[in-house]
Amino acid sequence: MTDSSSELEPERAAVADACRRLGAEGLLIGTAGNVSVRVEDRVAITATGAVLAELTADQVTLVDLDGKVVGGSLQPTSELDLHLGVYRRYGSGAIVHTHAPMATALSLVLDELPCIHYQLLTLGGTVRVAPYATFGTPELAQSVLEALEGRSAAIMANHGAVTHAPTLDKAVEHALLLEWACGVYQHAAALGRPRALDERQQLAVIEVAIARNYGTTHPVPPEQEGTR
Distance (Å, rounded) from C-alpha 120 to C-alpha 25? 19
In whole angstroms, what is the distance from residue 97 CA to residue 200 CA? 31
Active-site residue (options: 79, 146, 199, 207): 79
Concerning whether 79 is annotated as a catalytic residue, the answer is: yes
Environment class of 162 (CB within 10 Å of its CB; exposed 0-12, middle 13-18, buried 19+)? buried
What is the set of active-site residues?
79
